Each structure stands twice: as C-alpha cells, then as structure tokens.
Amino acid sequence: MTTAIIVIAVALVAAAAVYFFLVRGGAGGGRGLRGRFGPEYDRVVARHNGDTKAAEHELGERVRRHGDLEKRPLTEAARAEYTARWARTQEQFVESPQQAVAEADALLADLARDRGFPAGKSFEERADALSVHHARHVEGYRRVHSVRDDGTGTGTGTEEMREAFVEARGLFDALLADGPAPRGHDNRQLTKGRGTS
C-alpha cells in the first residue's frame, strides 16, 4: 500500500512539473512556452502589447485545447495528390501570383484538415491549432493568408507574395511529412539566386 502511494505521489509531481514548465513556462519567465512556440511566442506577446502574462495565458490555452491532437496519417495517394497540387500551384505563380497564393492558402487548409487539425470557424482558430504542433512554420501560413486577403493584390507586390509562398512551403512540408521540413525542397521557380542571372 505504501509503495502504491509513493508511485501515485511521484506521478502527480511529474505531471505538475510538465504542466508547470510546458504550459505555464516555469520560473524562467515563459521559457517553456518560448521554447515551444519560438517566433509565434514573440508574435503573441507583441499582439498583447508586451504583456507576457496575457500572451502566456493565451498560448497555454492553445496547448490545453490542441496539445493532445492526434494527427491522422495520409495515404500514399493523398500524399502524392497534395505534392502534385503544390507543384501545379507553384507553376501557376509565374503567370498569376495572386491566384497561386489563394490556392496555396486553400491547399494548406485542406491538408491541415486531412491531417486531423480542426477546421475552426475562422482562419485564426486554424492557425492557433497549427501553431501548437508547427509553431516554426505557421507564420508562412499566416503570410499567405494575409497576402491572399489583399484582394486584387494592389497593396501587395509580387516579391512579397513570392516570399510568403516560399515561407508557406515549410508548413506544407511539415504537414506532409509530419516532421521538420526537409532540406532542399523544390522551390526553384520562386527562390532567388537560382537559374541564370
């Protein structure tokens, strides 16, 4: 009986430690959340006008809501179709950048949904759920969505759209592979410094 009480006490202490350091950020002023969310942490702090406590509360809530999400695997056929769809979208960028970023935005939403991320009622809800598992890449999705929302592209230049599209590829690769974006993915048509000068 004493052994069972000790085991339960150790399990409770371990659970509290995980919660404290990952969700609450520990005594180091949000180091756990900062480490988990990276640039997304800074973006949320800025959106809260520097109020780290409010930002950490928001990020902690995201972890609580979406941290246990079980990602659905893609079939090989679905993986191949998404890869082909991205390649077509990338080719389309040359002729119609605005249409290509709109398609990239839709493609990322479809891929995230197929992987098991909640569709959400708004873009922000979808991006928040993605940020819990892909914080290093979600900014590309935000940028593509923002450029797409510019309407006719009047306020957004082709270079800004290209940069957003290239950055969004990181999330695409991470969702497709369920891991970090592979090095050397093919963005040759969009990446500066390649081809003839």
pTM > 0.75 = no
How far is the C-alpha of 93 from the C-alpha of 190, rounded, in Å? Answer: 8
Rounded to whole angstroms, how far apart are CA atoms 60 and 52?
A: 12
> pLDDT (tens digit, 0 to 9) for every residue of the chain, 197 residues total?
666 566 565 555 554 444 444 444 443 345 788 888 888 899 999 999 999 999 999 999 999 988 888 888 999 999 999 999 999 999 999 999 999 999 999 999 999 999 999 887 889 999 999 999 999 999 999 999 998 876 554 567 889 999 999 999 999 999 998 633 334 444 444 444 333 33
In 10 A of CB 32, how many CB atoms? 22
d(CA 177, CA 51): 35
Mapping DSSP onto H, E and C, the string for 44-93 reads HHHHCCCCHHHHHHHHHHHHHHHCCCCCCCCCHHHHHHHHHHHHHHHHHH
